[in-house]
Structure 1
Amino acid sequence: MGRCPNCGKWNTFVEEVIETASTAKPSRRAVGGVVAKPEKLAEVTTEKEPRVKTQLGELNRVLGGGVVPGSLVLIGGDPGIGKSTLLLQVSGQLSQTGGQVLYVSGEESATQIKMRANRLSVASDNLYLYPETDMGRIRENIDELKPDYVVIDSVQTMSQPDIQSAVGSVAQIREVTAELMRIAKTRGITIFVVGHVTKGGAIAGPKILEHMVDTVLYFEGDLHHTYRILRAVKNRFGSTNELGIFEMQETGLAEVQNPSEIFLEERLDDATGSAIVVSMEGTRPILVEIQALLTPSVFGNAQRTASGIDRNRVSLIMAVLEKRANLMLQNQDAYLKAAGGVKLDEPAVDLALAISIASSYRDKGTDPAECYVGEIGLTGEIRRVNRIESRVNEAAKLGFKRIYIPKNNLKDWTPPTNIEVIGVATIRQALKLILG
């Protein structure tokens, strides 16, 4: 029946397949093949599984210290950003350490993958390529080969033969992911899954896809630039605040050991509207340049445009500057960005944000040997931030001579002697010291 007799609309019927007892899923089993059963909390062992280190230290950092055996890792990113390149490199490295890797591709032939492997100098007898989309056949080959690692590129191209819906539909993605989770947990196989993203930047498919896996990584970057950022948004085995930075080269992805130098290398010494902030990404301090450009508004309502910084935070800081520092900003168009394509979302960037705005408004440059850290409250006070020692040491290591921090952060620790640390209590005091 193509037409609904109640509402009169066409093609609105959706078929739901009801599973019979014969097609019910098997019981959950442990890695040793033992059927799972209720256990007392006191009797559960807490043996820590050893992590496997890859040759990419940035990837190890984002994963929480290395690859966890038996985990299911989902990697999402824009088309052409380098997801397949990253996983093929990692597959080559893991296969060289003695583990067997099965690379399953539903989008490319074995010849295409081999061409990329030659470009990346990936060669190993323990790396197997398998162009297939049928989960039944993939499961059979996993049973026969018994690999230590499996790469699925991508989950949207895989299909369960028992499900009648189209490839890439919600039902297919849900069942394929559930099957991969059973394989990972019952056989101790680490599985990397590539996920396509939508126009909004979220991983395509149902949200349950991200809930089912152990780790969700986003591979970000601009196709017009060579730098890529790997960010964890979910991690059952480590912090979700870690960030890894890579550079796309002819021979593949190379990790960036000191990203602060990359973000600061093109800064002009006499530029106005520029301020350096020491931002924390997980356990790593990164120095980033915040740039601001203020121009008189031609139209009635002033524009607020931000790239890499929350637009609401920009509006808030500009309101504080207008109320507490007597800067007339309501008739100024403001354009702000975090240089290098990095996204800054922690409160400690407030002070540098305010300094860059005031510098552009007064058309007065900041000292290139200074950097700024601090959160700004609505009453104009500079509030303390966390991990201040790491931030100051990173600024000193990169040759900065002076750093402005919240006054309350000066308590209970001894600043290093190779950098001048100045505590400020209010935004008015900070502007007077920095811009005169």
Structure 2
Amino acid sequence: MATAKTIYTCRECGGTSPKWLGQCPHCKAWNTLDESVAEPSGAAAGKNRFQGLAKRQPVATLSEIDAADVQRLPTGQEELDRVLGGGIVPGGVVLIGGDPGIGKSTLLLQALDALSGQIPVLYVTGEESGAQVALRARRLGLAGTAVRVLAEINLESIIATLEAEQPAFCVIDSIQTVYSEQLTSAPGSVAQVRECAAQLTRVAKTTGCSLVLVGHVTKEGALAGPRVLEHIVDTVLYFEGDTHSSFRLVRAIKNRFGAVNEIGVFAMTERGLKGVSNPSAIFLSTHGEPVPGSCVMVTLEGTRPLLVEIQALVDSGGPSPRRLSVGLDRDRLAMLLAVLHRHAGVACMDQDVFVNAVGGVRIGEPAADLAVLLAIQGSLRGRALPRGFIAFGEVGLAGEVRPAPRGQERLKEAAKLGFSVAVVPKANAPKKPIEGLTVHGVERIEEAMDVVRSL
């Protein structure tokens, strides 16, 4: 019996190589080539397996194409609808990934049960049996009277079931367990994941069935499989959070039907995942009295303003002081310390500096700069900021305080939650006073330090 020929396929771009290489010759990515079994030449006849799935469309003029707003159907989970852009879209394909045990299957089963009263739904599980899914539904208190369940990993059988059941919403849990008989490689390989996702996407587009694909993640936190998987689908969601904490974040990385970088906040309870209506409460510590080294800022996650507490600890260091940040860019922290020394006269060159964003949230926008510097200065001097104080703004290398986008929304959110004093860039200062909030507009970091000392 002849030995099966092997090839090496890049998990990033899908390119192939006859031998293993450290760098992909196609996309130049490192350590991305995985061994797989080459398809026999007779498999070329399988190219017709896509025929009948996609109907040929005539060429049309852009201005003449009907561009009506897509109809959305709420899933019954307000936080999930926020991330999706308002609900599910007919024919839309969503890819959701996250660590094992984070709550992906739980959230989707809850959404299926809520949608089953309006539309036909189907849950395809390749990792569990039907009895295991039923046990989870009972534990969550879900009736499941109209939720159809299929325990199958064969792609052809799944497509046949979709044609027979004709669901309007379907969950595939997970895409890494599905395999096609047209390919000889094992489930989860680059070729299988790519081909199965492509065929399921074609079925969704031609039938109008909304499809959710659950994806595994690698130890680095990226979605497993070829990167082309993220390009095929319409929406990519990431489930984030510590399994030891009860709070979970669902973040949109790509969304053809809505805004990206939206987040949904959930709390894990005995009855499954529940949306958190006021997520700012998660990221704010409850101090009895103001403490040195703490400053609250308003950050934007998509369209939602969130109040996050920035904590700093400055302690005496050795000959090589450490700079450590959690939830913030470490390189930016080093830059801010240099600005603080040069333009505000606050030296930390012989001090260890630790900065943390409370609640495990990650802040990527530079609007956190001013709050970080005020927290560091407060910890170094041992002086706490007054109660009800917030700050935000980008700090430049010349010491200037630059405006943050949508500053008015940030200030209104802070006022709504009871904050009374704000130090913000002068360009973000409101033209009309905001009730209950005293706003100090500053142009330079020195001015911000002077305002804080006078409070």
TM-score range, shorter chain: over 0.9
Task: Give the counterpart of 1:366 among 367, 385, 401.
Answer: 385
Task: Give the counterpart of 2:184 among 152, 161, 164.
Answer: 164
2:151 aligns with 131
Consecutive aligned runs of 4 or more in structure 1 exceeding 4 Å deviation: 1-4, 11-14, 27-30
Q: SS at 2:360's partner residue?
A: coil
Q: Could you list the per-position Cα deviations for residues 165-218 of structure 1 after superposition, in whole angstroms to 9, with x for gaps in the alignment? A: 111110010011101111110100001111111111100111111111100000
Task: Give the counterpart of 1:308 among 309, 320, 327.
Answer: 327
Matched, 1:320 2:339: yes
Distance 2:76 2:306 in 1: 22
Distance 1:197 1:146 in 2: 30
Structure 1 gaps of 5+ residues are none
Give 1:37 shift.
Answer: 2.6
Instruction: Kindly indicate whether the alpha-carbon contact (under 8 Å) linking 2:97 and 2:239 is maintained by their aligned counterparts in 1.
Output: yes
Instruction: Kindly indicate whether the alpha-carbon contact (under 8 Å) linking 1:349 and 1:373 is maintained by their aligned counterparts in 2.
Output: yes
Instruction: Kindly indicate whether the alpha-carbon contact (under 8 Å) linking 1:28 and 1:186 is maintained by their aligned counterparts in 2.
Output: no
Q: SS at 1:348's partner residue?
A: helix
Tell me: CA distance 1:132–1:260, structure 2 relative to 1, closer, same or farther (3 Å): same
Matched, 1:46 2:63: no
Tell me: CA distance 1:342–1:268, structure 2 relative to 1, closer, same or farther (3 Å): farther
2:359 aligns with 340
Give 1:266 shift.
Answer: 2.4
TM-score, normalising length: structure 2? 0.89
Matched, 1:283 2:306: no
Task: Give the counterpart of 1:20 among 44, 49, 61.
Answer: 44
1:115 aligns with 135
2:263 aligns with 243
Task: Give the counterpart of 2:394 among 359, 372, 375.
Answer: 375
Query: Aligned residues, how many?
Result: 427
Distance 2:4 2:167 in 1: 46
Matched, 1:398 2:417: yes
Q: SS at 2:441's partner residue?
A: strand
Give 1:329 shift.
Answer: 1.2
Task: Give the counterpart of 2:432 among 389, 414, 423.
Answer: 414
Identity of aligned residues (%): 44
Q: Could you list the per-position Cα deviations for residues 340-374 of structure 1 after superposition, in whole angstroms to 9, with x for gaps in the alignment? A: 11111112111101111111111211112110011
Instruction: Kindly indicate whether the alpha-carbon contact (under 8 Å) linking 2:285 and 2:358 is maintained by their aligned counterparts in 1.
Output: no
Structure 2 gaps of 5+ residues are 7-17, 22-33
Instruction: Kindly indicate whether the alpha-carbon contact (under 8 Å) linking 1:74 and 1:192 is maintained by their aligned counterparts in 2.
Output: yes
2:441 aligns with 423
Distance 2:402 2:161 in 1: 58
Instruction: Give the letter for the 1:109 counterpart.
Output: S
Tell me: CA distance 1:162–1:429, structure 2 relative to 1, closer, same or farther (3 Å): same
Distance 2:306 2:369 in 1: 15
2:30 aligns with none
Distance 2:85 2:5 in 1: 53
User: Please, which moves more after superposition, 349-358 or 14-23?
Assistant: 14-23
Distance 1:322 1:128 in 2: 64
Instruction: Give the letter for the 2:38 counterpart.
Output: E
Give 1:261 shift.
Answer: 2.0
1:87 aligns with 108
Instruction: Give the letter for the 1:344 counterpart.
Output: I
Distance 2:36 2:420 in 1: 69
Instruction: Kindly indicate whether the alpha-carbon contact (under 8 Å) linking 2:293 and 2:375 is maintained by their aligned counterparts in 1.
Output: yes
Instruction: Kindly indicate whether the alpha-carbon contact (under 8 Å) linking 1:76 and 1:195 is maintained by their aligned counterparts in 2.
Output: yes
1:144 aligns with 164
User: Please, which moves more after superposition, 157-166 or 17-26?
Assistant: 17-26
Distance 1:372 1:406 in 2: 9
RMSD value over aligned CA atoms? 2.2
Q: SS at 1:166's partner residue?
A: coil
Distance 2:258 2:106 in 1: 24
Distance 2:381 2:426 in 1: 25
1:72 aligns with 93
Instruction: Give the letter for the 2:86 counterpart.
Output: G
Instruction: Kindly indicate whether the alpha-carbon contact (under 8 Å) linking 1:241 and 1:282 is maintained by their aligned counterparts in 2.
Output: yes
Instruction: Give the letter for the 1:72 counterpart.
Output: V
2:25 aligns with none
Give 1:14 shift.
Answer: 4.8
Q: SS at 1:20's partner residue?
A: helix
Matched, 1:330 2:349: yes
Instruction: Give the letter for the 2:417 counterpart.
Output: L
Distance 1:345 1:219 in 2: 17
* Equivalences for residues 181-260 of structure 1 within 5 A: 181-260=201-280
Distance 1:392 1:111 in 2: 51
Give 1:69 shift.
Answer: 1.0
Distance 2:52 2:222 in 1: 30
Instruction: Give the letter for the 2:413 counterpart.
Output: E
Q: SS at 2:409's partner residue?
A: helix
Tell me: CA distance 1:20–1:261, structure 2 relative to 1, closer, same or farther (3 Å): closer
Distance 2:448 2:105 in 1: 47
Q: SS at 2:282's partner residue?
A: helix
Matched, 1:103 2:127: no
Tell me: CA distance 1:12–1:142, structure 2 relative to 1, closer, same or farther (3 Å): closer
TM-score, normalising length: structure 1? 0.93
Give 1:28 shift.
Answer: 7.2
Distance 1:334 1:114 in 2: 51
